[in-house]
Structure 1
Amino acid sequence: MHQPNKIAFFLFFILLIPFGVQAQGHEVDSLKNELKGHSTMDTIRAGLLIELANKLTYSDPNEAIPLMEEAISISKKTDWTLGEALSHRQMGNLHYVLGDNIKALDEYQKALALSHKITDRQLQSSLLSNIGNIHADLKEYDLALENYHSYLTTSQEMGNRADEIKALSNIAIIYNDTERFEKGVSYLEKALSLSKIEENDLFIAAITNNLALAYKKLDENEKALSLYLEAAELAEQMNNKYIEASALNSIGKIYLLFNDYDLAETNANKALALSKEIDAVEWQSDSWEVLSEVYEHNRKLPEALDAFKKHVQLRDSVVNEEKKSELTRKEMQFKMERQQAVAQEEIKRQQLVKNGYLIGAILLLIFSIMGYLLYKRRRDALEKRKLAEFNAKVAETELKALRSQMNPHFIFNSLNSISDFISKNDIEQADDYLVKFSKLTRSILENSEKKWITLEEDIELMKLYMQIEGLRFDNKLKYHVSMDNSLEPDNVLVPPLILQPFIENSIWHGIAPKKGGGNIDIRIAKDGTMLKYIVEDDGVGRSVQNREEKKTKDSYGIKITSSRIDIINHLKNTKGSIELMDKAEGFRVEIKLPLELQF
């Protein structure tokens, strides 16, 4: 059984799901009965274990893992190399389904090494595809392409057209993911041509859907629409709701581009119904996004707001999963590098021991060399560990910074404020708020992967954030931003929204409790080789009684910003800092960052 291919989901979905739950259950029960009747530890039992684990891959992978451990043990004792290779491949499939790509990759590589011993090209071909999928998940696109091209060559040499189509499609999707759409289109066209020769409707529908996406990326919307309509029709004929839902959402988005809102709404509603049936969260989010734009165009503002809320909720769950996957990917890279370093050091150690036996006459010299190498190995290992810990801290801090900027309370408070304006029939205010809120969330998401943006962009984001909060507080909030004339805001680079936690604290803990409103003064100045921010408010400040409570509330945002500055200090070898000061009336924060110029 081939491992599931996450990036070419539509193409191989039918290979992953059992064709009948009842029939599948009967097969599992039948295999379990056969195992009970065959307790001899031979190749027959090992084969039954592999087949049963295959059937349990998607229904109960944890139950299948001990079965594979037993199959591996039996295969080794009976010198059944093929069985051992198949067992390791199936173990890799189980770990992949459970989301442990490190263990999956290790099992696939063991299986590949065994397949070379017995010259099983079909097995080698499937393992190359599996390993390519892991590298694609890790965004190691060059390694993924290398394995997929080997998979393609092997499939062509063996005359296995189904595998050839899969290999062509996987290569195309890698090129599309890396925005090399012309190459992606050429490989998809080849795959589509072979699928039509094979008369495989599932392959044709899936490849047509992916081909439409590539043409859309190339701004050939008429061509893309024609292909999406073709894919949706084929999927409907086959009752494949996965491909059909995806294609219908894409059709709706293209009709929005053509300003045909009726057809956009029709396709989005149909896609939404299908997505709910198959519990596809990301596609539900896409459907609500299309419907939100349709309702807004038709001036159905309450429905537009409700659709937008649902889109945001579902999209945020997808974004969180992507961020978790990104952290997992970085952790996996670190573990793989550490395993490689340990393996290399072990080889060096064994070589040193061997040399020690060979040149015993100069034992003292060998001990001296070994001592030095052990010291160097320890030093290098510590340096690698520190580097890996630092990289993990960078990834964690980036994710926490994004989460703090996209605070769920802020998002839902803002949406509720828009809803309140609409309920009061203050359409103009609701529209103004919605435009500002949409612009802010879009800018935050666009900048989430950027380490630096221009000071000019950052100031605009801060102003937009304060304008939104000002609307929520009935314009109690006043603010002023000033800057040294010596600074060129379009040339100075700063980390995105570094001041946001402190501005938020000033608003919520300083100005909100104060009667009559208050002011926030933001000053930006050049201080030698450093850029100095000052955030000052005239709010209620921190009294002796509430200072400890406020310290606890503020600690999360301050901790994230402090971590971001620590990372910058480490990378730039600078002395950036945060200083918090109580005033007689209000609060003051001073932040220093290295002055980074674009040109």
Structure 2
Amino acid sequence: MSPINKYILCLLSVLFFVGSMQAQNKKIDSLKKELKTYIKHDTVRVKILNHLAYYHYRNNPPQAITYAEQAGELADEIQSVKGKARSFYMKGIIYMEQADFKVAIENYEKATKLYNSINDIKSIAGCKNALGVLYNYKGNSTLALKYYKEALAIDEKLSVKRNIPNYLYNIGDIYSDNGEYEKALVNFKKALTIFTKNNNEYGILSCWNAMAIVYIEQGNYPLSLRYHNKSLDVAEKAKDSIGIFQSFSNIGNLYRKQELYDKALSFYNKALTIHQANYNTRNIIAIKNNIGSIYINKKEFTKAIVYFKESVNISRKIKNNQDLAISLINLGYAYIEIKENSKALIYFQEANEITKISQKKYDLIGSYLGIVNAYFNLNKYNLALVKAEKAVELANKYKLLKHQRDAYKFLANINYKLGNHEKAFISSQKFKIANDSLFNKKNIEKITQLEYEYKYKNELASAEKRELRLTKTINTKSRSLERTQRNLLLGVIAFLITTLVLGSIIFFLKLRNEKSKTQNIVIEQKLLRSQMTPHFIFNSLSVLQGMILNKEEKTSVFYLSKFSKLLRITLENSRDKIVLLSQELIAIENYLALQNLENDSYEYTISVADVIDTSLFKIPPMLIQPFVENAIEHAFVNQKEDRNLKVHLDYTNKELICTIIDNGIGILAENEKKEKNKKSLSTTITSERLKILAKDFKMKGSVVIEDRQKYNAHGTIVTLSIPYIKEDV
């Protein structure tokens, strides 16, 4: 069980920002000058102090508190109720951003009471919005949404349009947190339209960040990265340290979602180096949790525990139960990984008590599953059973596929250990259904992601074409102008420009041709990698399950090892254009072993000539496997015994040759007609791929398939000439 993933949402501006971010520093300087020159102790000076608190609260909270305190003291002196209320409101915001929620609530309540005393309904709406943000931070989304809607209703009734985009953004934030992404995007886009119309760059930045996070969850990574980079650019130009911190952390989240862990760590560490970010405790907690989760994925559990403990300690210090629960769950899973199940149980149980109150569904079910995991490892199966049934109930209630799968898996294993084999079987079947659904969902998400990437590349290509047309137009006009001049110097310039344009066009055409070739290779590699179908995976798992249930322990452990190695190698190799020959042969051996899983239906050998050091040769992945699969599926029709398959690699005349030999019916047999189309497609794709690879590697690449009749034998022989790279010793 991997730790719970938690992504940082961009910080929300609860104040009603006006003007552009680039004007903020000028505004601060102007207010400071005004404070020095305006010596009268009246409401104008109170407003100046409150405004200074407002403009400092993001990047310099201590200074902001000082200004707010001075505003409050002066308001008491001149008996300005509104000025005093505003100072309380400002202090509430400052303390909230530092996660001191208790003090923040006290200040909001004092501000609301004073606004009520003077019937300032508009300012009461601002307090309700701020309370909504606070309760959202604390994890009480129901109460947060209530305050947001109340604030929106007040301003709509008063026709106060200025604040409406803030409320729309906040409501979208709640929907995003609850996984209702379409509703979230509707609200974010409405808010963005108004912020853009008002030239409010703080609001625009917040909407971009929020929409980028939604696009991450929808699998649209290119669009998400575009929005995050736009936000980072705005923040860097404005020298807004907190905005830069948010963008770094959000880009880190995007890379972590794509399992690019080193890139993610680099952005998280950049964020943590920003001094002003230390004031925003919640985001520090989230980043430390994310770094800890990365170390879990990298199997560096000791480092992970250090970061999770830091998150727990900070959460306890500021009494932030929402982040505390997440940190406790993460810490519990880290201890599970190092087999300290008793410690893990304590953390899971504490998190469970917190999430029972907050009712954050992901964290609540995560805490139950953690408790089940710990009890199961401690052999306390009856206790584990009770919690597992509760986890199943909640996972089904909220329709969370991943949690359903994990809960049913635990339930099946627990019932099996308790001897409830019928219940174990039922749970196992439900686990398979949930796992298949999750597998299909991930495939759909992957297809969606590829679709988004394809559209994004098309947009870039269209932009390049428009730029090229514009360049051609400009050059044409330039040449037309030059033809009107008879000066020798202008003639020379015209010649140089024409040469430059032609060179650019030739370069562009060559570049486009190379991109087309590369794209063809990538498409064909992806098509070939799909040979490892879900049917094969699920069939292997089913057979393994049968072995386990039949208590064939040695056999099941042996083949489970083969299966896991094959999956790992396939996933690793799928990212690389070339792989070590040794890795490819391990994948082939594991594949053959798994295909031979149900019984010893055929014998196979994999041999390598002595002249080949498999650790020095690198080849394109998945070239050999399609022909091995064809041999297994088609060569031995109606042949029950004496079935042999040989794979041999030789290195002659600087050619890497792989031969795949079977003693089956041969390619000329009539029985092959039933599968002719499928086999021809595989052969055609591999032949075309070898042609392209041969050009890329600048060496021979081919495939020859022969019937062994011509050699007075039975079966088929496939001869592959494989392009390769050989490393120097």
TM-score by length of 2: 0.62
Aligned residue runs from structure 1 range 255-404, under 5 A:
268-290=388-410, 311=431, 314-315=434-435, 318=438, 328=449, 363-375=490-502, 377-378=504-505, 381=508, 396=523, 399-404=526-531
**Corresponding residue number in structure 1 for 2:626:** 501
Counterpart residue type for residue 703 of structure 2: I
* Residues 312, 327 of structure 2: 8 Å contact kept: yes
**Corresponding residue number in structure 2 for 1:591:** 720
Identify the match of residue 566 of structure 2 among 441, 444, 449.
444
Q: Provide closer, same or farther for how the CA distance between residues 257 and 45 of structure 1 changes in structure 2, counting only shifts above 3 A.
A: closer
Confirm or deny that 1:202 pairs with 2:322: yes
**Corresponding residue number in structure 2 for 1:512:** 637
* Residues 89, 111 of structure 1: 8 Å contact kept: yes
Identify the match of residue 574 of structure 1 among 699, 702, 719.
699
**Corresponding residue number in structure 1 for 2:59:** none
**Corresponding residue number in structure 2 for 1:457:** 586
Separation in structure 2 between the aligned mates of residue 16 and residue 373 of structure 1, nearest angstrom: 61
**Corresponding residue number in structure 1 for 2:83:** none
* Residues 579, 589 of structure 1: 8 Å contact kept: yes
SS in 2 for 1:590: strand
**Corresponding residue number in structure 1 for 2:311:** 191
Residues 210-239 of structure 1 show CA distances to partners (whole Å, capped at 9, x for unaligned) of 223344555655544543444344434544
Confirm or deny that 1:159 pairs with 2:276: no
Identify the match of residue 6 of structure 2 among 5, 8, 27.
8
Residues 398-420 of structure 1 show CA distances to partners (whole Å, capped at 9, x for unaligned) of 55444322x33334555666788
* Residues 479, 520 of structure 1: 8 Å contact kept: yes
Farther-moved stretch of structure 1 (236-245 vs 11-20): 11-20
Confirm or deny that 1:211 pairs with 2:331: yes
**Corresponding residue number in structure 1 for 2:652:** 527
Q: CA deviation at 1:554?
A: 1.7
Identify the match of residue 137 of structure 1 among 257, 260, 263.
257
Unpaired segments of 5 or more residues in structure 2?
A: 11-134, 574-578
Residues 418-466 of structure 1 show CA distances to partners (whole Å, capped at 9, x for unaligned) of 78899xx9x47x7677556533421211212133352763463254135
Q: CA deviation at 1:206?
A: 0.8
* Residues 372, 387 of structure 2: 8 Å contact kept: yes
Residues 4-54 of structure 1 show CA distances to partners (whole Å, capped at 9, x for unaligned) of xx9425999976998349x9699779969987996x9x7466556656655
Residues 527-574 of structure 1 show CA distances to partners (whole Å, capped at 9, x for unaligned) of 333333323334344458676653312245446655775676466443
Aligned residue runs from structure 1 range 229-248, under 5 A:
229-236=349-356, 238-248=358-368
* Residues 534, 588 of structure 1: 8 Å contact kept: yes
Separation in structure 2 between the aligned mates of residue 50 and residue 62 of structure 1, nearest angstrom: 13
Confirm or deny that 1:536 pairs with 2:661: yes
Q: CA deviation at 1:201?
A: 1.9
Q: Provide closer, same or farther for how the CA distance between residues 107 and 576 of structure 1 changes in structure 2, counting only shifts above 3 A.
A: same
Separation in structure 2 between the aligned mates of residue 555 and residue 276 of structure 1, nearest angstrom: 45
* Residues 565, 576 of structure 1: 8 Å contact kept: yes
Q: Provide closer, same or farther for how the CA distance between residues 312 and 182 of structure 1 changes in structure 2, counting only shifts above 3 A.
A: same
* Residues 503, 535 of structure 1: 8 Å contact kept: yes
Confirm or deny that 1:19 pairs with 2:113: no
Q: CA deviation at 1:589?
A: 1.9
**Corresponding residue number in structure 1 for 2:36:** none
SS in 2 for 1:588: strand
Q: CA deviation at 1:182?
A: 4.6
Q: CA deviation at 1:204?
A: 1.2
Separation in structure 2 between the aligned mates of residue 66 and residue 298 of structure 1, nearest angstrom: 50
Q: CA deviation at 1:205?
A: 1.6
* Residues 368, 391 of structure 2: 8 Å contact kept: yes
**Corresponding residue number in structure 1 for 2:74:** none
Farther-moved stretch of structure 1 (108-117 vs 58-67): 58-67
**Corresponding residue number in structure 2 for 1:168:** 288
Q: Provide closer, same or farther for how the CA distance between residues 167 and 464 of structure 1 changes in structure 2, counting only shifts above 3 A.
A: closer
SS in 1 for 2:597: helix
Residues 325-344 of structure 1 show CA distances to partners (whole Å, capped at 9, x for unaligned) of 6784898599689969979x
SS in 1 for 2:530: helix
Q: CA deviation at 1:207?
A: 0.6
SS in 2 for 1:446: helix
Separation in structure 2 between the aligned mates of residue 142 and residue 592 of structure 1, nearest angstrom: 37
Separation in structure 2 between the aligned mates of residue 68 and residue 233 of structure 1, nearest angstrom: 34
Residues 325-378 of structure 1 show CA distances to partners (whole Å, capped at 9, x for unaligned) of 6784898599689969979x979989x99xx99x99954455455445445544
* Residues 533, 592 of structure 1: 8 Å contact kept: yes
Separation in structure 2 between the aligned mates of residue 299 and residue 494 of structure 1, nearest angstrom: 50
Q: Provide closer, same or farther for how the CA distance between residues 99 and 26 of structure 1 changes in structure 2, counting only shifts above 3 A.
A: farther
**Corresponding residue number in structure 1 for 2:18:** none
SS in 2 for 1:511: coil
SS in 1 for 2:531: helix
* Residues 385, 414 of structure 2: 8 Å contact kept: yes
Aligned residue runs from structure 1 range 78-93, under 5 A:
78-93=198-213
Q: Provide closer, same or farther for how the CA distance between residues 383 and 193 of structure 1 changes in structure 2, counting only shifts above 3 A.
A: farther
Q: Provide closer, same or farther for how the CA distance between residues 171 and 233 of structure 1 changes in structure 2, counting only shifts above 3 A.
A: same
**Corresponding residue number in structure 2 for 1:3:** none
Separation in structure 2 between the aligned mates of residue 415 and residue 237 of structure 1, nearest angstrom: 39
* Structure of greater relative contact order (alpha carbons < 8 Å, 6+ residues apart): 2
Q: CA deviation at 1:133?
A: 2.5
Separation in structure 2 between the aligned mates of residue 244 and residue 50 of structure 1, nearest angstrom: 26
Counterpart residue type for residue 527 of structure 1: T
Confirm or deny that 1:107 pairs with 2:227: yes
* Residues 8, 173 of structure 1: 8 Å contact kept: no
Residues 295-354 of structure 1 show CA distances to partners (whole Å, capped at 9, x for unaligned) of 6667877876776665566456556666776784898599689969979x979989x99x
The number of equivalent residue pairs is 577
Separation in structure 2 between the aligned mates of residue 239 and residue 112 of structure 1, nearest angstrom: 34
> Taking every aligned residue pair, what percent have the same amino acid on both sides?
22
Farther-moved stretch of structure 1 (389-398 vs 498-507): 389-398
Q: Provide closer, same or farther for how the CA distance between residues 445 and 334 of structure 1 changes in structure 2, counting only shifts above 3 A.
A: farther
* Residues 406, 431 of structure 2: 8 Å contact kept: yes
Q: Provide closer, same or farther for how the CA distance between residues 231 and 462 of structure 1 changes in structure 2, counting only shifts above 3 A.
A: same
TM-score by length of 1: 0.73
Separation in structure 1 between the aligned mates of residue 564 and residue 586 of structure 2, nearest angstrom: 13
